[in-house]
A and B are shown apart, each in its own frame.
Chain A
Amino acid sequence: MRRLLARVRSWEFVRQLRRNRMAVFGLAIVLIFLLAALFAPYLSPHDPLQRSLRQALDGPSWESPFGRDELGRDILSRVLHGARISLTIGLVSVGIGALAGVPVGAVSGYFGGAVDLLVQRLVDIMLAFPGILLAIIVVSTLGVGLTNAMIAVGIGTIPTYVRLVRGSVLSIKEYDYISAARAVGAGDLRIIFRHVLPNSMGPIVVQSTLQFAVAILWAAGLGFLGLGAQRPTPEWGAMLANSRMYIRVGAHATIFPGVAILLSVLGFNLFGDGLRDALDPRLRGRM
């Protein structure tokens, strides 16, 4: 852990990141969405659930800069509250994926043999389904709803973590300092958690950032299909689904939640890419 922190603090890393314009741009978007999510109740001009039928599908105006949706609800307020939901989904599902996937991947890579074989075949099975499909299967088993959507997306991301961590553990465990640790009598668990995992933190952080974008996208997809957040929750995907039938008469109701999904996913992807470049010593100097 100390090694990682040292690297993060080091001038080299921040310099690398700052030199990457796209990464900074991505970080800016991520920060904007974070702020929007944190302060949504204060930033929203209206109650996101307040109906105003007489204003249904009114276009953007000073009073409601993003216009009104099919029930006359303020779209800006809904998009801001939607940021809360989407970021929560990202956090929870990435958390589930990482917490379950990282230890399993580490154990699988460290011990190898039969454990590895078993775990990896299970992961193969999970990877055989496209992630979103896996999430849909999980949601149909657990029942629709926001919480279950988060769990589903989380489960869908587990195999990626397992593979990733296993890969980096496989290479790290061959290093001399691991042999040294073993020579002074450190147990397997201690080696895994004190020496192996901290050294594979880089790829995990990068993967988590990228996975955040995927989680937002999948959750929006589930919401769009009616399997995620339920009406009237202002979730971006669900907003998109509900307003799409009015796209000919009030396109703004579809455009703004759509742009929100696009920008947040783009932001996390750019930032994640930048992080990877900055954290990977092999890519250093090539940017």
Chain B
Amino acid sequence: MRVRLLVGLLLCAALASVGALAAEPQYGGRLVIAIGVEPESLDPIGMSSAPAATVSEHISQPLIYLDVDGTLQPSLAVDWEASEDGRVWTLHLREGVTFHDGTPFNAEAVKMNLDRFLDPASGAPFRFLIARVTEVEVAGEYTVKLYTDEPFAPMLAHLSHSFIAMVSPEQLRALEPGDAITHPIGTGPFKLERWNRGEQVILTANEDYWGDRPYLDEVVFKFVPEDSARVVMLETGEADAIMRVPPLDVPRLDAHADVEVVHATSVRVIYIGFNNLREPFTDVRVRQALNYAIDKQEIVDVILGGAGEPSTAPIVPAVFGYYEAGPYEYNPEKAQELLAEAGYPDGFSATLYHPTGRYMMDATIAETVQSYLMDIGIDAELITMEWAAYLAHLQEPPETADYDMYMLGWGTVTLDADYGLYALLHSSQWPPAGWAVGFYKNAAVDAALDLARVTPPLDVRQALYETAVKGIWHDAPWLYLHDEVQINGVREGVHGLIHHPLENISAWEAWIDR
């Protein structure tokens, strides 16, 4: 008996060591990732959301890579420096890189891509990222110089943005004016094989990748807006990884032998913007009243199962320039007083647009907000829209924008407040120019944000952002909800997936042991 036990133990040990051997990365295989919504575009000048970035960064890369720790890493640019006065940036490019179509990557390619991104006629919704650049100069085969009108402090962080992605100059040349790229040809670790609209994107490994060839042969991103459907796909093995596990399903998945739940940080705030140009949201008291009317903590605790924090600023604490201004306490009496002061003692009706499957529990949260607003007499009509249509709807100029309230989230993916505040709350960024969808305008905030852009010393910038955040918080152009946390699910046997705080899931280091 004893001998048998010993043999058994030895066998177990042997098996365990086999298991350990199997932990060496393996090449080959196909990885299926279910994400919530479909990218609205994969064209650098057409993208505006994290789902697009998630897919795109596998195919076409930005010059600089922001890694999971928030450090800027060399990518297509290997080195960079700023001139004394901070107005000229010199980028040294990686040599020997080719696009998927064989076109060499060089300074000329960078210039073509940046010029296209900068061209006001191209209408890139994220043009503001590098809008300060006045000229892109080819200073050598592998050297590019960027001239700016003012010293532009967040330049490097902005160049790391997934939307400033490099696509093949051949492809750009072949493009008819006004046409969008539907099949980007980049330098990334994967090539776009096929994009079945409404269903999936299929990527195949780039054998000639300038870095290490990815372990996987194929990566498939499936678009599954229904939260519960994604969970089922993970449980049955139809998907190897899913994004945004509903918090209520976490305990069950934790108990599931073949599934691992991954909690990752995020830099995203979720909010409901007010159309500051439409009655009654033109009145700051009304906007503040709505902020007091919602119990953010209860939403986080119950609907998000604790996965998040009530927002304390329009940006998350991890971002440079953060200042703790809130939260607005839950105080329905005060909300009603403010409404009465503003001349709406009996409330009013308004529309509330929201996406579904895009943010954690977005539709449920919208309905909860509707319910809280009912308490203070506000009748909010919920309008659900499909993601791409929703984004298009929010790009209307002020005259035709027909929404009163809109639910959005914003990840400050450069980890610099400029990206979070300037893009959403500076009055120069009203659509169709940018993403200040609520048409908020405060001259003092504008001035602080402008100055912080062009002032390199960090302590001065911090002070300027503090001013801006205080002003924005007081003016309440949004109904501040919460800072999001990511919950993803991964099957056993899948290794090396990157769950990026930018809410990207990246597969170039991933491998499967089966």
Contact = CB atoms under 8 A, between A and B. Distances in A.
Contact of A232 (B226, B252, B299, B371): B371
Interface stretch (B37-45, B86-94, B176-184, B362-370): B362-370
B359 to A, nearest CB: 14
A49 B228 contact: no
Interface in B336-376: 363-364, 367-368, 370-372, 374
Q: Which of B231, B367, B371, B384 has the most CB of A within 10 A?
A: B371
B252 A231 contact: no
A72 B372 CA distance: 13
A249 B251 CA distance: 10
Contacts of A245: 226-228, 246
B249 A71 contact: no
Given A51-B372, A70-B364, A71-B368, 19 more contacts: A49-B374, A53-B295, A53-B302, A53-B368, A56-B302, A56-B303, A71-B371, A72-B302, A230-B381, A231-B367, A231-B382, A232-B370, A232-B371, A242-B364, A245-B246, A246-B228, A248-B231, A249-B248, A249-B249
Main secondary structure of the interface of B (DSSP, over half): helix
A-B residue pairs, 10 tightest by C-beta? A51-B371, A245-B228, A53-B302, A249-B248, A53-B298, A231-B367, A231-B382, A56-B302, A245-B227, A71-B368
A203 B269 CA distance: 61
A92 B226 CA distance: 33
A71 B367 contact: yes
17 contacts: A49-B371, A49-B374, A53-B295, A53-B301, A53-B303, A53-B368, A54-B302, A57-B248, A71-B367, A71-B368, A230-B382, A231-B370, A231-B382, A244-B228, A246-B248, A249-B248, A249-B252
A125 B367 CA distance: 39
A103 interface: no
A3 to B, nearest CB: 50
A53 B246 contact: no
A231 B374 CA distance: 12
A53 B249 contact: no
Nearest to B302: A53
Contacts of A248: 228, 231, 249, 252
Interface string B90-104: 000000000000000
Contacts of A232: 367, 370-371, 374
Contacts of A51: 368, 371-372
Interface string A213-250: 00000000000001000111000000000101111110
Contacts of B246: 245
Interface in A45-71: 49, 51, 53-54, 56-57, 70-71
Interface residues of A, number: 20
A232 B231 CA distance: 26
Interface in A23-57: 49, 51, 53-54, 56-57
A157 to B, nearest CB: 28
A70 B231 CA distance: 18
A57 B249 CA distance: 13
A247 B382 CA distance: 23
Interface in B301-346: 301-303
B362 to A, nearest CB: 12
A234 B247 CA distance: 25
Interface of A: 49, 51, 53-54, 56-57, 70-72, 226, 230-232, 242, 244-249
Contact of B367 (A54, A242, A246, A249): A242
Contacts of A57: 248
Contacts of A71: 364, 367-368, 371
Contacts of A249: 248-249, 252
Nearest to B301: A53
Interface in B240-290: 246, 248-249, 252
A32 B248 CA distance: 35
Contacts of A72: 302
B255 to A, nearest CB: 12
Nearest to A70: B364
Contacts of B248: 57, 246, 249
B182 to A, nearest CB: 27
Contacts of A247: 228
Max chain A Cβ within 10 angstroms of own Cβ: one of B248, B295, B363: B248
Nearest to B368: A71
A77 to B, nearest CB: 14
A51 B374 CA distance: 10
Nearest to B374: A49
Which one of A242, A247, A249 has the highest number of Cβ atoms from chain B below 10 Å of its Cβ? A249
Contacts of B226: 245
Contacts of A53: 295, 298-299, 301-303, 368
Nearest to A226: B384
A145 B301 CA distance: 32
A15 to B, nearest CB: 51
A245 B227 CA distance: 7
A277 to B, nearest CB: 43
Contacts of B371: 49, 51, 71, 232
Contacts of B367: 71, 231-232, 242
Contacts of A231: 367, 370, 382
A56 B298 CA distance: 11
A232 B374 CA distance: 10
A91 B227 CA distance: 36
B366 to A, nearest CB: 8
B301 to A, nearest CB: 8
Contacts of B299: 53
Nearest to B372: A51
A245 B374 CA distance: 24
Interface string B291-303: 0000100110111
A253 to B, nearest CB: 11
Nearest to A57: B248
Interface string B228-246: 1001000000000000001
Nearest to A55: B302
B385 to A, nearest CB: 11
B261 to A, nearest CB: 15
Interface in B380-399: 381-382, 384
A54 B298 CA distance: 8
Nearest to A249: B248
Contacts of A226: 384
A54 B301 CA distance: 9
Interface string B203-246: 00000000000000000000000111001000000000000001
Contacts of A246: 228, 248
Nearest to A250: B248
Contacts of B364: 70-71, 242
Contacts of A49: 371, 374
A232 B384 CA distance: 13
B306 to A, nearest CB: 13
Which residue, A49, A51, A242, A249, has most C-beta atoms of chain B within 10 A? A51
A246 B302 CA distance: 13
B472 to A, nearest CB: 28
Nearest to B252: A248
Contacts of A70: 303, 364
